[in-house]
Structures are given as structure tokens and as C-alpha cells.
Amino acid sequence: MNSEHIFYVIIGILTAQFTFDQWLDFLNNRKVVTSIPTELEGIYDEEKYKKQQNYKKANYSFGLLSEVVSFLVIMIVLFNEGFAILNSWIVDFTSNLTLQSLLFFAIIGIASSLISLPFSIYGTFVIEERFGFNKITPKIFVLDMIKSMLLSVLIGGPLMALVIWLYNIAGSYFWLYAWMVISGFAIFMTMFCTSLILPLFNKQTPLENGELRDAIEAFSVKAGFKLDNVFVMDGSKRSTKANAFFSGLGSRKRIVLYDTLINDLQTDEIVAVLAHEIGHYKLKHTLWGTLTGVLQMGVILFVFGLIVGSPLLSQALGVHVPNFHIGILAFGILYTPVSFVAGIFMTILSRKNEYAADAYACKFELGNALIGGLKTISSNALSNLTPHPFYVFFHYSHPPLLQRIKAIKNIK
């Protein structure tokens, strides 16, 4: 096998992934259901169903356009040895290896943000706006962008610099050191993201006194979860869509309810959603998710450590002296099929966890309330009630509404 073969393997992998994704999107978009299943009757009236279908179509065409553009861009760059050209500029600019890799990723990061920016603007201010979801003002949109960029520079930059520095000094144990650093960082972020990073974007406040707080307090006592760990977040600042999530580990655990959820749902439905989130905590889903991620990262870094020094990888992208950034880029693409399969297992596990958290809520006789809450959330978000089973299998982190309702009814 020579470097040209590897180049065509890279092209083949990217093309196969692109084609497969488009095929799934196409199947999902084409699936039209004439009769709504009885469990879901009443969620959409005729007018709202039409609106939902239009929303689905608009998102499909928009997604197709954006994916075709990014696929074409990467193909043009690869066939013109764009990464090699960028690399030679950077090598001429500085001889510091760590700085070379940092500059390389920074330039690629900026370029890909510039390419995705018009799509992000269109998606938010045209599509989401047209269907009445968007609440972001241009000012918040720009501020969000600046904050995210600063975070990548201030947090991502030093972390990456440390890993690259380790690569340049640690030799064959690089993977082990990098694994320790990255795992430590991942565990820290899992614990502190909601208390340190999220406040830069959203305000989180304790529950206000009143009927809802009383109901949630009564339930928290029953479930053995401290009320201090429940927060309300101003999700309505960006979108009308409702949500709730559990995050953190140990003492840093926290359940966040969007204010939109509190506005849209009845009290008992909110309690049921909260019970579902407490279920994720009691069943240790975040802990297992973090550990699985850490293990996966170990495997990736080990394999990466074995092959990154091979000049074939760099030569496949037109670079003759191997270096960290070209190696990781080629490796990242070659690894896609493995991460694709790993991703399938992760989504299966995630859907299993959702069923388990629903079942936890059912233990407190909250099944009906949960069904009511989920129906309202889906209806207000114009969710696709009948996605294609293949699409669900590969992409859905949560089971579709119909399957969740059926599972909840089975428990009762």
C-alpha cells in the first residue's frame, strides 16, 4: 500500500459516508404517513400537521444544501492538496512544532466556521423564524459566536497545546499521557460545564415559590433528590422549543428545566419530566456515559499512537515530513468507519437509557403525566412523529414519541 492508495481510501470513506447520510435523509424525508397512529391522535390538527410537514421539508432541503456544500469543499481541498499548501505556509512561518499545529487547527477552525456561518444564519433567522421558533436577536447571535470563539481559544487552545507538546516529547507513551490529560479534562467538564460554562450563555435561577415549587419539592423528597439542584433556565431567550436535562456528577449534579417547558406544560407533566431527569441521575447514566467516552478515547489514542508517525499518512495528504496535525487529520478521516460503528452503539445505549428514565418516572405513577408532557413538547416543536426506522436507528438519541408512549403504556 502506498500513499496514493491511502489518499483514495480517504476519498472513498468520505464519499461513502456522505452518500449513506444522504440516502438516510432521503428515506426519512420521503416517508409520508397517511393515517396517524391512534396513540398520537389529536397531537396535530390538520393545519398544524401541514405546518409540520412543511417544516420537515424545509429542514430537509436546507440540510441537503449545507451537506453538499461541505462535501464539495472538502473534496476540492483534498484533490488540490490544500492541507499540504497550508502546512507549508505554516512551516515557513514558524519552526516551533507546537505552534505549527495550533496555527493549523486555528486556521481550519476559522475557515470551517466561515463556511458554516451563512447556513447558521439562514437556519436561525429564516427557517426557525418562519415557523415561529426563533427568539434570538442578531445581537445575542453575534455575542454567542464571540463567546464560543473565546472559549475555544481560552480552553481548547491550551488543552490542545498540552497534547501537541506531549506528542512532541513523549515518544511511544504519548497515547497514555494524552489519554490522562484528555480524560481528566472530560471529567472536569462533565462536572462543571453547567455551573461554569452555561452561565456565560444562559441565566439559571432556583425555582420560584408557588404551586410548581411545592409540587416539585413534594416529589423530590419522595425520590430522594435535593431541590437545591433544580434550576430554571431562560431557554426562551433563543427558541420557543421546550427542554430539560440532567448534568454533572456527584455534588455538582443539576437538573435544568427550560422556562419554555414550565410555560407549556401542566404542573403534573413538569413533575413527570423532572422525574425522568432524576431517573437519569439515579440510574447513573451520566457517569456511565462519561466512562464509556473515556474508554473510547483510550482506544482511539492508542491506535492513533501506533500509526501517526507513519509517513504514508502525511504523504497521502501531500505532506512529505510527517507531523502531528497532518497525521491527526488523516487519521481522523480513516477512523470514521470505526467511529461510525461506535456511534451506532452509543445511540442504541442512549435510547435504552431514555426508556429506563421513562420507566423510573412510571414507578411514581407519573406515566400518564409524562405522556401528556412529551406530547406537548413534540407538538410545540413540530416534531416528526413518524420518522423512518433506519433514520431512527442511526441518528436518534431518543426513541420516537410513539415508541416511548407504547413503552410507558406497557409498564402501566
Q: Nearest distance from residue 256's CB to Zn ion, in Å?
A: 12
d(CA 102, CA 159): 10
> What are the two backbone dihedrals, phi and then psi, of residue 227, each rounded to the nearest 5 degrees?
-60, -30
Shortest distance (Å) from residue 357 CB to Zn ion: 5
Helix axis angle, 324-334 relative to 157-170, nearest 10°? 100
- What is the C-alpha separation between 129 and 31, in angstroms, rounded? 25
Three-class HEC string of 291-311: HHHHHHHHHHHHHHHHHCCCH
Identify which of 234, 232, 258 has the alpha carbon closest to the alpha carbon of residue 244.
258
Residue with cell 493549523: 104
Name the minimum Å distance from CB 359 to Zn ion: 11
Count of H helices and E strands in the chain? 18, 4
Q: Are 296 and 335 in contact (CB under 8 A)?
A: no
Residues paired with 134 in a beta bridge: 239
What is each CA distance from 386 to 157, 324, 348, in whole angstroms? 42, 45, 18
Least CB distance from residue 285 to Zn ion, whole Å? 8
Sign of dihedral through CA atoms 168, 173, 177, 183? positive
Nearer to Zn ion, 123 or 279 (CB): 279
Beta carbon of residue 276, minimum distance to Zn ion (angstroms, whole number): 6
Q: Active site includes 358?
A: yes
| Residue 277 a catalytic site member | yes
| Residue number with CB closer to Zn ion (173 or 288) | 288
In whole angstroms, give the CA distance from residue 168 to residue 229. Answer: 43
SS3 letters for 63-116? HHHHHHHHHHHHHHHHHCCHHHHHHHHHHHHCCCHHHHHHHHHHHHHHHHHHHH
- Which chain residues interact with Zn ion by CB under 5 A? 354, 357
C-alpha cell at 366: 407519573
Question: Pick from 367, 369, 368, 351: which is nearest to 359 by CA?
Answer: 367
Using DSSP's 3-state secondary structure scheme, residue 179 falls into: helix
Cβ nearer to Zn ion, comparing 285 with 388: 285
Nearer to Zn ion, 357 or 385 (CB): 357
With beta carbons less than 8 A apart as the criterion, state whether 283 and 187 touch.
Answer: no
* Smallest separation, CB 363 to Zn ion (Å): 15
Pick between residue 178 and residue 408 the one whose CB is nearest to Zn ion. Answer: 408
Nearer to Zn ion, 264 or 354 (CB): 354
Residue with smaller CB distance to Zn ion, 269 or 354: 354
| Beta carbon of residue 391, minimum distance to Zn ion (angstroms, whole number) | 20
Question: In terms of CB distance, is 353 or 379 closer to Zn ion?
Answer: 353
In the set 128, 269, 277, 354, the catalytic residue is: 277
Q: Which residue has the cell 500500500?
A: 1
CB of 40 to Zn ion, least distance (A): 19
Q: Which of 25, 269, 354, 358 is catalytic?
A: 358
DSSP string, 146-164: HHHHHHIIIIIHHHHHHHH
| Residues known to be catalytic | 277, 358
